[in-house]
Structure 1
Amino acid sequence: MIQKTILLSMAAALVACGGTEKKEEKTAETRKEITVKAYPDVRKDSVVDDYFGTKISDPYRWLENDTSAETEAWVKAENEVTFDYLAQIPYRKDIAKRLTELWDYEKVGTPFKHGDYYFMYKNDGIQNQSVLYYQQGLDGEQSVLLDPNTLSEDGTASINGMGFSKDGKMMAYGISRAGSDWVEINVLDLATKEKLSDVINYVKFSGISWRGNGFYYSAYEPPKEGSDYSGKNEFHTVYYHTIGTKQSDDKLVYRDDKNPQRNAGAGVTEDENFLIITTSESTNGNSLALQDVKKGGPLVKLVENYETDNYIIDHLGEGKFLVFTNYNAPNNAIMMVDINKPKQEQWTAFIPEKEYVLSGASIIGDKIIATYMKNVQSKIEVYDLAGKYLYDIELPGIGIASLNGDKDENTAFYSFTSYTIPTTIYKYDVANNTSEVYFKPETKFNSDEYETKQVFVTSKDGEQVPMFITHKKGLQLDGTNPTFLYGYGGFNISITPRFSVVNTVFLEQGGIYAVVNLRGGSEFGEDWHKAGWRMNKQNVFNDFIAAAEYMIANKYTSSEKLAIHGRSNGGLLAGAVMTQRPDLMKVSIPGVGVLDMLRYHKFTIGWAWAGEYGDSEESEESFKNLLSYSPLHNVKEGVEYPATMVVTADHDDRVVPAHSFKFISELQAKHTGDNPVLIRVDVNAGHGAGKPTEKVIEEWADVWSFVLWNTKAEVSFEKEVE
């Protein structure tokens, strides 16, 4: 593939101390009253915007300035209220301890090959960041290549992307700090592990694609002082960097001076003969162009609009390319493209669209490996280079697989995971279609005690929406089980079965973890996606509400025991559902959410989401639609909202924290009743990617403490007694 670009304690060890034997006794925590400090006073300004004749007040506009002294003081005051509340929950420390125990097992990523080396990520348990190892050949001795834990004292520096020279001698890699999307690119000599002098800054939303003695990357102009994490990003530009030179000498490859709000990226084919240029106006749809850089030919445009998703799988030779696309194929297909007949209407089907969704494809061991998703579960099919179906790869069960391999290598590797099975790595023989376990983790979580089932719920308009429900075997359906309902529903992103250690302690305490595959995702192709975007966005919230009602009607839980959660676009989901149906759940956790739908497009990369949501300024119709569900603008005076903990971070430059700041201010001002409505602002952290293990454990210990306390769950731990 070239381009596509909680917790509660259960068991403590039996120990001997001073010759006195200790036993374990399971004890339940006694419930006590918890007090909430007074919420901070928040200044209200008289800011009013006019949208097509409708006046919209925005009294907390000043909180958009996330670096001001006043905002910093407000964040500190809010955190004092939140952490004082959390500190009173009697089992909070037990949750953090048990989560740390469960997290502490060796994890290995799927190996991948470049040149003579195999690379893989490993984490010995609770390292803040996984470490990149490499070895020469399959039987070579492993050694550390890059340990991001050494790059910062608090573990907040992380690896963000990498690219390798074709000869496998050099690696360029990106480093992100404090969770920001900004990336710094450095270069390593793989033979000596020497870090070269090359440093590239102000990189964001970029691949690293080598050709010859350098690589292509995409960057923005340096942000204005004080706007690093909130200023609008425009004029995404592709450059080529030659090893050994300064960034200021890099060659400008592509820039659209007429359209500042377009993203641009570059890649190269495996043979390095063709440069690939893609541009996009939103997160959906991209243009596609090719240039024969070996012969010095012109830039040939294959796709000039932004109506379809397209990426090059590889060049087969003689100007023939395999392209992954949803052009005339909502479930995706692989097309053959002749550079001499480049237009989409001239493309020919190579592997036609099927009833289930094609998720990706690559050439491995001279075979085409096509990964499909059928009812939100992996199905991997193998084809020859003429497009003839050969066989399926037999997977170890119902779950999700992801495969890595090299075009000229017979050995590949794939990962497999599900909600109760930690990620296991398999070694795959392409020619013989056989698999063997390469790495299987050993965890303290007993998967055999839990089960997952898939159900379909009927949404408001009659659509059947899938949901996975995971819980202990033998669960009593009596409506008393604490339940955590998660969803996303947007941006053509599938939410697939994956093991997450953060959920295990909640499951151990008798919790139910349910995931809804909402419209707006890609679980059933582009039609499913479009049924949940733009003017259809309310479908997503209706789907989620229907799932919650299903869980209650079927006695899994009750409104007093139900918590909802989503992050990013899912944070919007949690915010919209709690403001539309505050009676439906007891707890809401909107995480790093898009909560101000009228102004989201004015910060960092928010303009690129207009293709998904619409824009409040583009038309009155779009404005009214966004206003109808914008969480910030639908908080009502005197309503009792569920216990709420908004989660965000001070360095989030994807969804700026102003969304969360303004929403919680409005909620605290208008909410009535005894449920706490709080905000937890993480410091020196971002949207989520690259967050160190220590911070993840801290955050989820707080989330589960808040959820379990407010759903009045029966929480118990095994305590050591004499």
Structure 2
Amino acid sequence: MADLILHPPRAQKIPHPVTVHGETWDDPYFWLRDKDNPAVMEYLRAENAYTDAMLDHLKPLCRKLYQEMVSRINETDVSVPEQIDDYFYYSRTEAGYQYPIYARKKDHLEADEEIILDVNQLAEGHTYCHVGQIGVSPDHRWMAYVLDTTGYEDYTLYIKNLQTGELLPDVISGVKTDLQWTNDNQALLYTVSDDAMRSCAVYQHVLGDDPAQDQQIYFEADECFSLYLQKTRSKKYFKLISQSALTSEVRILGADQVDQELMLVAPRRTGRRYELFHHEATFYILTNEDAKNYRLMKTPEDAPGREHWQDVIPHRQAVKLDDVMVFKRHLVLWEREKGLIRIRIISLVQGDDFYLDLPEPTYTVYPVGNSVYDKTTLRFAYTSLVTPRSIFEVDMDTGERTLLKQYEVRGGYDASQYRSERIYATARDGTEIPISLVYRVGMTLNGKNPLILYGYGSYGISSEPYFNSDLLSLLDRGVIWAIAHVRGGGELGEEWHENGRFLHKKNTFTDFIDCAEHLIAQNYTNPAQLAIMGGSAGGLLMGAVINLRPDLFRVVLAKVPFVDVVNTMLDASLPLTTGEYEEWGNPNDKVYFDYIRSYSPYDNVVAQDYPEMLVTTGLNDPRVHYWEPVKWVAKLRDLKTSDNLLFLKTNLNAGHGGASGRYERLKETAFDFSFLLDRLGITA
């Protein structure tokens, strides 16, 4: 052990000059990108061995946390069934098994169960298993599903005869997760990816045909755009959506039989995004055209072109129209105001509307199921930092609400013993940044509490406050859990996103620092007891803030962190790069290159003290390649001036999302939490 403490792994430095825009610098850890190089794998295993040895003392705490987490969940549980025609579809889990079982019953819920897909059986012989999508044909006879067994998000499509239980020989590799059946049950549409893993084309497969003969329906040639496939809730049309970060374009195709021409709704125009929803003889259109926070428009079904669009819900400065759901007799609007979603239901028959009452100061709400067009009820999930996930069904005519299921927290959870609140930190430019918090009732705000501050802040994605029973293992040990809703996310509308991307990206980092300082100033915590964590683009946030203010944080957990931004964004052959020019900027333009290089965590590691850190990655991650965090750790080891511990943990059998099985995911969480607690001085 002493030898390991004195000698953590050191990656070899091999000169690798890089020249861009006339500037040349050395990237001595570039060689770590080649996982076919035995020396690279040797280094990853050495880092894992170092982490395992140095954190061996955490095993009792880790086991205890894992047992706590498992004890709170109903290991054998079932989802709320959804009725589609004569069948009730649902998923369930069984104690001791890692993966869900998908099943159905015919005519009534007391009927015999028919298992249509047991993911546990698919997982046999694999260290990773993920079913990305399941699609049952309209006549309920066939089921298609896509399966990834590496974590690299490289899916294979299978088709199962639900009457006989047999798989068809029609196996299609290299697909993405979008798939839709034609209404005649004879064919399905699916998407495929290019070498950069960009979803780029839609194909049609006719049952029984050789997949090599599948017909290409559409190919998206622009490398900055990805192609997505959906079906309208009315089931009348397929939607082929070409989309970049800033721009979208929709084509429609009749879903009865794919023997018609694609119809382009409105040609792409940089900066304009729109979505299409079918209703009887009308298309509703959600768009940001001249409406930063989006507006709702409509157009005749037989004349969907832009010149026919008419306003239905105008743009509002303080309210973002996040999403729209169209039923035969109702419109459901998901509106975001002051960072929280409101559900507005509009009758398309009577014209009246109402909002659902959602009382807590901070919460999360989202739709669940709702596959059937001709329904008068809406299902949604509601949760908050103190309220377990609850499935409600509301009558869209009367507003009457029914609780269908609240997911049980075993062990006697009492929500009244926890307090959730939302406060605001003032950023250095005067902007008010929301912070969501939860902690045990009775906690004294004396500046001496351990606190974990989470952040993300990219892509316009909102960090929603939801219930996670795993967090009880932190809260019951006196830890405060906090979420910094920094700019770059979507919590406060599209402007919130715009002010945290491109040449405003540094607002994300300074917002997070200002939130941390506010929590300290308000006596929630102090730097010696402040932990921070984030993953993926949130890992970029972690890397940036510790370069700027390493003194502010005691310990850092960076999961699959996007930290080698310059190199990644300069390499158009990598998955996601070209599609992300509209989030970070294209470094082939010197203005963006200079700006990205000024904050990219890997490029800005310097000789200074850094907090204690645990960095995790997955060898098969196609989104943030393993070599980004690995190079970052190597450089930090070389330059950091403190004795604070630095650990790298590489999952050699997983991708961006970590382990695929639910028990393995809980073990990963227990390991992460045990590290944070131990570094915060909580050892039991």
Q: TM over 0.5, yes or no?
A: yes
Match of 1:202 in 2: 174
* Distance of 1:330 and 1:108 partners within structure 2: 41
Is 1:114 paired with 2:84? yes
1:665 Cα shift?
Answer: 0.5
Q: 1:215 aligns with which of 188, 212, 228?
A: 188
CA distance, structure 2, for counterparts of residue 197 and residue 462 of structure 1: 62
Task: Give the Cα separation in 2 of the matches to 1:502 and 1:332.
Answer: 36
Give percent identity, aligned residues only: 25
After superposition, the C-alpha distances for 1:478-513 in whole angstroms (9 at most, x for unaligned) are 222111111110111111121123322111111111
Contact (CA 8 Å) 1:100, 1:126: kept in 2 or not?
no
Q: Retained in 1: the 8 A contact 2:277–2:285?
A: yes
Aligned match of 1:485 = 453
Aligned to 1:532, what secondary structure does the other structure show? coil
Aligned counterparts, 1:185-196, within 5 A:
185-196=157-168
Q: For residues 135 and 283 of structure 1, do their structure 2 counterparts lie closer, same or farther at Cα, with a shift above 3 Å needed?
A: farther
CA distance in 1, matches of 2:51, 2:346: 55
What is the Cα deviation at residue 381 of structure 1? 1.0
5 Å-filtered alignment, 1:74-93, equals: 74-89=43-58, 91-93=61-63
Q: What's the offset of the Cα at 1:45?
A: 1.5
- Spell out, residue by residue over 1:580-632, the C-alpha distance to the aligned partner (whole angstroms, 9 max, x if none): 11011011111111111112233222321111011222x11101110111000
Residue aligned with 1:236, SS: strand
Cα distance change of structure 1 residues 137 and 535 upon mapping to structure 2, 3 Å threshold: farther
Q: What's the CA shift string for 1:548-583, capped at 9, x where partnerless?
A: 111111111111111111111111111111111101
1:607 equivalent to 2:569? Answer: no
1:212-269 superposed Cα distances (whole Å, 9 cap, x missing partner): 3212211125x5xxxxxxxx33572211111222221110111144x34432223343
Per-residue CA deviation, residues 284-304 of structure 1 (Å, 9 max, x unaligned), is 431222345778345324131
Residue identity in the other structure for 2:665: V
Tell me what 1:475 maps to: 443
Q: Is the 8 A contact 2:651 2:658 kept in 1?
A: no
Letter in 2 for 1:74: Y
SS in 1 for 2:654: coil
Read off the aligned partner of 2:591 and give its amino acid letter.
E
For the Cα contact (< 8 Å) 2:176–2:199, is it kept in 1?
no
Measure the CA separation in 2 of the matches of 1:35 and 1:536.
Answer: 42
Question: What amino acid maps onto 1:498 in structure 2?
Answer: Y
Change beyond 3 A, Cα 1:581–1:685: same
Check conservation: 1:109, 1:425, Cα contact below 8 A. no
Q: Please list, as runs of the form range in 1=range in 2, the aligned pairs for 1:514-553 lying within 5 A after superposition.
A: 514-553=482-521
**2:175, 2:191 within 8 Å by CA — same for their partners in 1?**
yes
**Quick one: distance in 2 between partners of 1:315 and 1:69?**
58
Deviation of residue 279 (structure 1)?
1.2
Map residues 459-470 of structure 1 onto 2, 5 A cutoff: 459-470=427-438
CA-CA distance at 1:111 after TM superposition: 4.2
Cα deviation, residue 449, structure 1: 1.4
Are 2:510 and 1:510 aligned?
Answer: no
1:391 aligns to 2:347 (yes or no)? no
What is the letter of the counterpart of residue 255 of structure 1? F
User: 1:164·1:210 contact (CA, 8 Å) conserved in 2?
Assistant: no
Shift of 1:110: 5.3
Check conservation: 1:592, 1:660, Cα contact below 8 A.
yes
Q: 1:266 to 1:675 in 2, by over 3 A?
A: same
Matched, 1:367 2:330: yes
2:264 to 300, 318, 323: 300
Q: Distance in 1 between matches of 2:557 and 2:351?
A: 48
Aligned to 2:622: 653
Q: Could you tell me whether the CA contact under 8 Å between 1:329 and 1:353 is conserved in 2?
A: yes
1:579 corresponds to 2:547: yes
Deviation at 1:108, TM superposition (A): 4.5
Structure 2: unaligned runs, 5 residues or longer: none
| RMSD after superposition | 2.6
Partner Cα separation in structure 1 for residue 182 and residue 659 of structure 2: 24
Q: CA deviation at 1:123?
A: 2.9
Q: In the alignment, is residue 437 of structure 1 matched against residue 403 of structure 2?
A: yes
Q: Which digits, 9 at most, give the CA deviation of each residue in 1:170-229, with x for residues without a partner?
A: 3322222233311122223344444333222101363445443212211125x5xxxxxx
2:527 is the counterpart of 1:559: yes
| 2:663 paired with 1:697 | no
Q: How many residues align?
A: 669
* AA in 2 matched with 1:363: V
Q: Which of 151, 158, 162 is the aligned partner of 2:122?
A: 151
What displacement does 1:531 show? Answer: 0.8
Cα distance between partner residues in 2 of 1:107 and 1:500? 17
Distance 1:679 1:37, change over 3 A: farther
Structure 2: how far apart are the matches of 1:166 and 1:474? 55
Task: Spell out, residue by residue over 1:52-109, the C-alpha distance to the aligned partner (whole angstroms, 9 max, x if none).
Answer: 1222221111111123322111110000011112212352332222223234555554
Would the alpha carbon gap of residues 137 and 309 (structure 1) be closer, same or farther in structure 2, given more than 3 Å must change?
farther
Q: 1:348 to 1:689 in 2, by over 3 A?
A: farther
Q: How does 1:305-320 map to 2 (within 5 A)?
A: 305-317=269-281, 320=282
Identify the match of residue 332 of structure 1 among 267, 272, 294: 294
Flag the 1:103–1:271 CA change in 2: closer, same or farther, 3 A. closer
1:138, distance to aligned residue in structure 2 (A): 5.6
Q: Secondary structure at the match of 1:598?
A: helix
8 A contact 1:34–1:88 mirrored in 2? no
1:447 deviation in Å?
2.8
Q: Is the 8 A contact 2:279 2:327 kept in 1?
A: no
Distance 1:69 1:626 in 2: 32
Rounded to whole Å, the distance in 2 between the matches of 1:363 and 1:202 is: 33
SS of equivalent to 2:168: strand
Q: SS in structure 2 opposite 1:583?
A: helix
Distance in structure 1 (CA, Å) of the matches to 2:96 and 2:327: 33
Q: Using a 3 Å threshold, how does the CA distance of structure 1 residues 261 and 679 change in structure 2: closer, same or farther?
A: same
User: Is the deviation greater in 135-144 or in 427-436?
Assistant: 135-144
Find the partner of 1:426 among 378, 389, 392.
392
Residue 666 of structure 2 aligns with an amino acid whose one-letter code is: I
Higher mean Cα deviation, 479-488 or 342-351? 342-351
* Cα separation, 2, equivalents of 1:387 and 1:579: 58
CA contact (8 A) 1:180 1:686 kept: yes
Distance 1:499 1:388 in 2: 35
In 2, the alpha carbon distance for the partners of 1:422 and 1:490 equals 26
Is 1:82–1:679's contact at 8 Å kept on the other side of the alignment?
Answer: yes
Contact kept, 8 Å, 1:335 with 1:348, in 2: the verdict is: yes
**Residues 396-421 of structure 1, C-alpha deviations (whole Å, 9 max, x = no match):** 75522222322112344221111122
Higher relative contact order (CA 8 A, sep 6+): 1
Secondary structure in 1 matching 2:70: helix
Which whole-Å CA distance do the structure 2 matches of 1:235 and 1:334 have between them? Answer: 27
Q: Which of residues 342, 356, 367 is equivalent to 1:379? A: 342
In structure 1, what is the equivalent of residue 146 of structure 2? 174
Q: Quick one: distance in 2 between partners of 1:137 and 1:428?
A: 23
Within 2, Cα distance between the matches of 1:585 and 1:367? 50
- 1:283-329 CA distance string (max 9 Å, x none): 34312223457783453241312413322222432xx3112222222
Name the amino acid aligned to 1:425: I
Cα distance in 1 for residues equivalent to 2:629 and 2:678:
23
TM-score for the superposition, normalised by structure 2: 0.92
Give the unaligned 5+ runs of structure 1.
1-31, 224-231, 717-722
TM-score, normalised with respect to structure 1: 0.87
Answering whether residue 378 of structure 2 is matched by residue 416 of structure 1, we say no
